Amino acid sequence: MTTDQSPAESDVAKLQDVAGRILSTVWGDNYHAGYWESEHDASSNEVAQWRMNDVMIKKLGVSAGQRVLDVGCGVGAPAFQLAEQTGATVVGVAISRSHIEGFRRRARERGVDDLVSIELIDALAMPYPDDSFDAAWVVESFINIDRPRGLRSIARVLKPGGRLMFTDVVQPTRQVTDTDQARAEMLDTMEMGELPTREQYLQWVRDAGFTDIEVLDITANTQQTGERIAAGIRKHYDALVAELGPEATGILEQMTTSIEVEYMLVTAHLPDAA
């Protein structure tokens, strides 16, 4: 993002506006992967999405009265479930104006607007003072954020002992069938940085000051997501193009195409105060 752009004017924000409208149509308000118990689990998309929220909430481990930062919060479904189940207050940051409008409207409708809020803020330039939050989570949003800088930015606003939970994709360790061109097209169209290795990623987490790092590989639990989203896009393709315009076709095509990745859920802590 150039220095003369507001967060909402960036290419990433424009992508998120379009991708969010697509996901709301074909997937629902949880802009993240679903969680299936096994390859034989035939749970609906919605059930799998809320189950993923349950897994993340348990891993984050917050309680009533604590303050949680939700980086790249979308239209808020995970934040709402987190607030309802724990009583924690959740502050979402986003760079898409449509996400902010959708978050606020949905929060009012769900009756959680006393516990959740959202602001138009770049995660790499957050105005919050040091030690502002008890915990933070980043649900798939690191794909559009400079990861090392994002981790340091989050560490700054967390209190000593603060907890971080994030989900993201990394390069697979197995042999893949993706072509270099297919991978490059996906990363370019979806404004994604080059996928790191797991070892590289975990070094960034350590460099940001986090300790007690736990990695849960949930690739197998989330792998139904891509094809189910693709099926929804194929079903609604013509209507989505009519709504969003022909300029959205590239994003639609990429969202029906998967590259091979590994999906991990990571938790870590900052050290307690001396």
Tell me: the pLDDT tens digits for 49-77? 999 999 999 999 999 999 999 999 999 99
Which residues span the domain enclosing 125?
Answer: 7-269
Q: How many residues does the chain have?
A: 274
Cβ density class 117-126: b for 16+ within 10 Å, e for less = bbeebbbeeb
Mean pLDDT (whole number) for 220-225: 96
Task: Supply the pLDDT for residue 9.
Answer: 62
- Ordered strands of the 211-217 beta sheet: 116-120, 89-94, 67-71, 133-139, 158-170, 262-269, 211-217
Catalytic positions, written as ranges: 140
Average pLDDT in the chain: 94
Assigned domain for 274 exists = no
Q: Is the pLDDT reported for residue 1 higher than 50?
A: no
Q: Is the pLDDT reported for residue 2 higher than 50?
A: no
Assigned domain for 117 exists = yes
How many structural domains compose the chain?
1
Assigned domain for 2 exists = no
Assigned domain for 81 exists = yes
Task: Supply the pLDDT for residue 180.
Answer: 80
Assigned domain for 170 exists = yes
Least confident residue range of 33-42, 100-109, 118-127, 185-194:
185-194
Q: Please give the helix or strand (H or E) that residue 93 lies within, else none.
A: strand 89-94
Assigned domain for 177 exists = yes
Residue with tokens 């035939």: 42
Q: Is the pLDDT reported for residue 6 higher than 70?
A: no
On whether the CB atoms of residues 172 and 261 are closer than 8 A, the answer is yes
Assigned domain for 70 exists = yes
Task: Supply the pLDDT for residue 174.
Answer: 80
pTM for the complete prediction? Answer: 0.93
CATH number at 108 reads: 3.40.50.150
Strand, helix or coil at 114?
coil
Q: Is the pLDDT reported for residue 17 higher than 50?
A: yes
Q: Is the pLDDT reported for residue 260 higher than 60?
A: yes
Beta bridge partners of 71: 93
What whole-number percentage of the chain has pLDDT above 90?
Answer: 86
pLDDT band at 5 (very low <50, low <70, confident <90, very high): low
Task: Supply the pLDDT for residue 118.
Answer: 98
Assigned domain for 252 exists = yes
